[in-house]
Each structure stands twice: as C-alpha cells, then as structure tokens.
Amino acid sequence: MQRYGSVIGLNEAQKAKYIELHAAVWPDVLKMITACGIRNYSIFLKEPENLLFAYFEYHGTDFAADQARMAADPVTQKWWDVCMPCQAPLEKRKEGEWWADMREVFHHD
C-alpha cells in the first residue's frame, strides 16, 4: 500500500458547487476509484485559503496503469469536466500536474 497526498486551490465562486458535488459523488465514479485500487480517499478543504487537500491509499501494483484506466473512463471524464472548472491549480506545480503531489514527511500508525 502506498499513501498519496496532493493539493489544489478551489475557486471561491465555485466553492458551494464543488462541496455539493462531493456530497453526492456519482456512483460510477466511486466504482472506478475502487476498481483502480484507491482506498481511504478523503478531500479536505482549508478555509479561508480555499485549498483542497486530497489523501488516498493505493492498493494496486501498477499505479500508472490504474490512473490511465481511470482517465480513459467516459463517466470519470464527465465528472472531471464538471469538477475541474471549480479548481485552481497551484502556480508552482510540476509540469503535467493538475493536483500538485505532496511528499510524505511523517507517518505514524
């Protein structure tokens, strides 16, 4: 199992919509997340800065392949089309990132 954390901004004007969407995530999106080996997935909102922090655990064997599978899913693509306008990627993220990956510096079970 591998833990992942990432961060992105949230557009103030879209905050209520984003929260509403995530109060009722589409069932097929949740099924795809699970099918791609992702467990214990949470998104936290830091206000008033409007930063979203995502945490999940990956229980598969090929993260890149599972992420490609998720990205190819038509329902997930539609979900992202709805959610992405609500988000504000960080200026200093790595090339190719939407959500900026974070490095784990501490963990305790």
Specify the DSSP class assigned to residue 109.
Answer: -
Identity of the residue numbered 68: A
Tell me if residue 22 is catalytic: yes
DSSP summary character for residue 32:
H
Active-site residue, selected from the candidate residues 22, 59, 107, 108: 22
Task: Give the C-alpha separation, 39 to 88, whole Å.
Answer: 25
Mapping DSSP to helix (H, G, I), strand (E, B) and coil, where does residue 106 land? coil
33 CB contacts (<8 Å, ≥6 apart)?
41, 70
Would you name the residues annotated as active-site residues? 22
